[in-house]
Structure 1
């Protein structure tokens, strides 16, 4: 980025995930980017964030744009999932590029409106899927793109995390249909994205879910079976009812010529790397990621934000833009439609039973 102006990032929302973004942007971990402001409707929370990172704080995005708009290049929307769409649509006309945390929205109608709003405004829309940048996932993608798996057979993701009642009680929106969704829409959304990224276009899905250990509207435990256009099958196992601690966040890809499993609790550690046509560097791949990240967010946010900067400065295509982010949302929406209807759902459906995103 030498010779190019540093991009000013402003955070909309100062909740749990915002600290991850702020630490990276204010700490110099993202070359070509800097944190310039934060805002939150909870004024005390905004003030605490601003003081922590030594940047101006505001009670709303509108006030922030009015006061320091020229210094802002990118708005990072880090609010509860149910507000992503309304904020993106309202803020896109200001001409700032937009980064939105997962999931980009809770309904496909909202996602489509977000994409249109950014297209009309001529700004880029980036959907955060940081696990695509984890080193083991990058190595897996290289092997996949090189055709080393041959015919795909099956893919599996397992999210076995701990979220107790105190987690859901922190904020009123957690575990609600209108603002959050359950484990599939929230915690497992990155893993659903990875499964679809490797296995391709889904055709049908059948899912079941329950609320096992906490008092919330939505599910804390579920399973889904997905049939892909390639003929491969996908299995999604997701729960926040692991006790007493987080257990794993894993991805397995099985093909006629190879099998790879990435485990750890944030898809961060290669557990198995086996191919029928060994390559010289296969022996060293198992050592590419051996340490656990500090939390379930993994290591990928810094790499993701660097990709954002690169795309804005050089006009390239984002790894996960609005259209790419919509793909996993469609599969998640189909999972919920199946849960509520009790039926297998064929993609390109119109939701009629699901409560996700309903107010």
Structure 2
């Protein structure tokens, strides 16, 4: 049995609790939060509560799930790693590449595993898209598009002082679109260069609420990224589209869970429709957080690297950082400018 502890008893922690409870071989034994009222909500049914992470780390916890505001991820990850605990850290893993590198180094030095929560990779439609790419069904890819047109109203940002700040939240790319950016990277491979514009147009926050970027991938394909939390009056669309010489695929919906276009050379309309119908019967599949917990549980048991490792989380963070740099400087940013520390 792999024993889990959760740090940060906010909204996202509830998904971790459900995921651990649903995973065979995993057990939630401890929670930690500096807010006593929040702690009481989780510290029940035999689950021990701690106001100090150090106290929780002195228990028999095997894996620590870090569910705090983003700016706190690095120090808590390193503290857990130094206590020889494996780590699952919510996205973004950090807000700077320097911190991400320190986290990865701490886990490697202490012989522990780290996974970053990018659960959208496990969506049934996304899994099908990845299969087509691995089989070469698109032929030569021309371009790809990722879109996040969501609503996070002012009340969302006003409910906690860290939301919308550069130090703890990071903005629409870091806090919302990073999942879609992770998928774009996972499908298209490494990036050569990005150009970007960002703005704080509507929300009263420190970070950006709107961003558009153009990407050149190392394989020569182009990409477009659009992200906003200003869509009225509610979430409109999340989509991922790939266009190649022999295939067109669009995954979309209010969240990117449904296949909207599925056309490939040699694939009949009946075969395409069968895939679309299969996804429509179960568009969400096993919850992504449960897949992350299951994968870490098995990674510890089998002594292997988690699927969405710290290095994978760093790639998505690098993409965000490059877009932010390009927007700030008004110049294209080559990914090799982002040096590893």
TM-score range, shorter chain: over 0.9
Residues 242 and 293 of structure 1: CA distance in aligned 2, closer, same or farther (over 3 Å): farther
* Matching of residue 204 in structure 1 with residue 204 in structure 2: no
Contact 2:4–2:65 (CA under 8 A) maintained in structure 1:
yes
CA–CA distance in 2 between the matches of 1:186 and 1:250? Answer: 17
What does residue 35 of structure 1 align with?
A: 28
Q: 1:82 aligns with which of 68, 71, 74?
A: 71
Aligned length: 338
**Where do residues 277-292 of structure 1 align in structure 2 (5 Å cutoff)?**
277-278=266-267, 281-290=271-280
Structure 1 residues without counterparts, runs of 5 or longer: 1-5, 352-359
Cα offset for 1:281?
Answer: 4.7
What does residue 40 of structure 2 align with?
A: 47
What does residue 2 of structure 2 align with?
A: 7
Q: Secondary structure at the match of 1:102?
A: coil
What does residue 332 of structure 2 align with?
A: 344
What does residue 316 of structure 1 align with?
A: 304
Residues 176 and 223 of structure 1: CA distance in aligned 2, closer, same or farther (over 3 Å): same
* Matching of residue 330 in structure 1 with residue 323 in structure 2: no
Q: Secondary structure at the match of 1:140?
A: helix
Contact 1:135–1:288 (CA under 8 A) maintained in structure 2:
no
Cα offset for 1:225?
Answer: 0.6
Cα offset for 1:283?
Answer: 3.3
Contact 2:250–2:261 (CA under 8 A) maintained in structure 1:
yes
Contact 1:293–1:299 (CA under 8 A) maintained in structure 2:
no
CA–CA distance in 2 between the matches of 1:147 and 1:9? Answer: 39
Contact 1:9–1:76 (CA under 8 A) maintained in structure 2:
yes
Q: CA offsets per residue over residues 105-130 of structure 1, 9 Å max, x none?
A: 11111111101100010000111110
Cα offset for 1:322?
Answer: 0.8
Contact 1:268–1:292 (CA under 8 A) maintained in structure 2:
no
CA–CA distance in 1 between the matches of 2:46 and 2:138? Answer: 49
**Where do residues 229-244 of structure 1 align in structure 2 (5 Å cutoff)?**
229-244=218-233
Cα offset for 1:62?
Answer: 0.8
* Matching of residue 65 in structure 1 with residue 54 in structure 2: no
Structure 2 residues without counterparts, runs of 5 or longer: none
Q: Secondary structure at the match of 1:244?
A: coil
Cα offset for 1:292?
Answer: 8.6
What does residue 264 of structure 2 align with?
A: 275
TM-score normalised by length of structure 2? 0.94
What does residue 162 of structure 1 align with?
A: 151
Q: Secondary structure at the match of 2:148?
A: strand
CA–CA distance in 1 between the matches of 2:267 and 2:14? Answer: 42
CA–CA distance in 1 between the matches of 2:32 and 2:247? Answer: 48
Contact 1:269–1:292 (CA under 8 A) maintained in structure 2:
no
Q: Secondary structure at the match of 2:262?
A: strand
What does residue 288 of structure 2 align with?
A: 300
* Matching of residue 255 in structure 1 with residue 247 in structure 2: no
